[in-house]
Amino acid sequence: MNASLFNARILPLKPSTPPPSTMATTASRFRCLYTPLIRSSPFLSSTTIRCLATQSSPTDPPKRRPTYFKDALNSVPSFSEFLGQNEPQSLSDSEAYELKTALVGPAGRRKTITRLPSWLKTPIPDNENYKKIKKDLRGLNLHTVCEEARCPNISDCWGGSDKSAATATIMLMGDTCTRGCRFCSVKTSKAPPPLDPHEPEHTAEALSRWGLGYVVLTSVDRDDLIDGGARHFTETIMKIKQKKPDMLVEALTGDYSGDLEMVAMVANSGLDVYAHNMETVEELTPMVRDRRAKYRQSLAVLDAAKKTVPDLITKTSIMLGLGETEDQLWETLRELRKVNVDVVTFGQYMRPTKRHMKVEEYITPDVFELWRQRALDLGFLYCASGPLVRSSYKAGEAFIENVLKKRRGVTVLGDVRTGAKKAVV
């Protein structure tokens, strides 16, 4: 091989030097390609500056930031957009109160049932205050109508921020009733267990421990006892007043088989509110209540309590949705005013089990509000009316705030039994 050719191959080639004008053009084009675009500068005019390597366009699109996972989540359409609706449409009153049905049961034996309306649904009780109250009750062997009657408001009444905000209705004389009303889920027996002689003391101790300002006492009917349990009831109220005189006590009693002397005994025990429930109108009483519970007998109980202690507040409760008519309700309210009943409550009847009488109608909240106003127009001191209202529901809030606080300051009430005077704030 020729040595000159070999040397030519291994020697580096010298680049040819371009003319000065060509070098300037290449350098400027290189800088335009590899340097970022100058967005703005105080030394430049507002006119858009382009390098030779950029294309001409009326507006340059802004630089887009990277896409993150949260952007994908936020881009999901809403429920109304998913259904093809731009804005949710508000329902009319008739549509909102429309009852919904459902088919249940195995194939071939399906039946249509009416679902519980939305205004009657309540949360399941599960908080610390509920558990504490239940533990205290079990430890003292006490019963409540909240549990025995399967009240839907137990989560509200027992679930206050603290025990002083809670309301529990203590059920005296055991958990077994001698009567069998078709609406009530309390268990029944002809021969229930004997009374607990320590119950009055235990009840007073539990209530003083909770620090309540208002308490409701009720009881099962005890037709197996000579006095119907009136003396046991009276002793419990007296024990409570001894331990905490400023506590307001409401007694929701039975009819004591029409023995008005027993009614007078309980009325003179020092309680603040005497309550006895009419439950329903006169025409439906034989079908709804036990045969021993009579409409006129219940009116006589409320009348006797008022006549025994004229300053005593008397109270009753009526269930709606059993098939009653407006005329029947009007007549019942007039009968109650004739015996000077001060407070009436209206609530929706809810079927505890399939063994109990069925619901004839679900009353809407608007109708409950209508009857509340009608009761006030008739002269009742206070009326609580609503689908979930019960005779003792939220007694501390509904009753004290709406009735006792109407007596501004301190009203001195005379005690007919002792001649002493007590103050109600």
E-strand ranges in 234-337 read 248-252, 273-275, 313-320
pTM for the structure as a whole? 0.66
| Angular region, 340: left φ>0, alpha ψ -120 to 50, beta rest | left
For the ranges 120-124, 176-180, 356-360, 371-375, which has the lowest average pLDDT? 120-124
Q: What's the CA gap between 63 and 66, in Å, rounded? A: 10
For the chain, percent of residues with pLDDT exceeding 90: 36
pLDDT level of residue 311 (50, 70, 90 thresholds): confident
**Given a cut of 80, is residue 365 above it in pLDDT?**
yes
Let me know: does 188 contact 179? Beta carbons within 8 Å: yes
Contacts of 177 (CB under 8 A, 6+ apart): 184, 186, 187, 188, 189, 192, 220, 221, 222
Mean pLDDT of 395-401: 50
For the chain, what's the residue count?
425
pLDDT of residue 186: 83
* Cα–Cα distance measured from residue 155 to residue 146, given in angstroms and rounded to the nearest whole number: 10
36-55 pLDDT, tens digit per residue, is 544 444 444 444 455 555 55
Measured CA to CA, the distance from residue 79 to residue 219 in angstroms comes to: 50
pLDDT of residue 106: 81
pLDDT at 283 (0 to 100): 95
274 - beta bridge partners?
251, 314
Q: CA-CA distance, 137 to 151, in Å (whole number)? A: 16
Torsion of CA 106, 107, 111, 112, to 10 degrees: 100
243 and 284 Cβ atoms separated by less than 8 Å: no
Which residue did the predictor score with more confidence, 343 or 99? Answer: 343
φ and ψ at 385, to 5 degrees? -140, 125
CA-closest candidate to residue 36, choices 60, 67, 57: 60
Provide the β-strand partners of residue 170: 144, 217
Average pLDDT on 255-274 reads 94
Q: Specify the pLDDT at position 58.
A: 56
Residue 280: what pLDDT? Answer: 95
Q: How far apart are CA 425 and CA 423, in angstroms?
A: 6
User: Residue 173 pLDDT more than 50?
Assistant: yes
Tokens of 230: 């009136």
Flag the least confident range among 12-26, 294-308, 339-353: 12-26
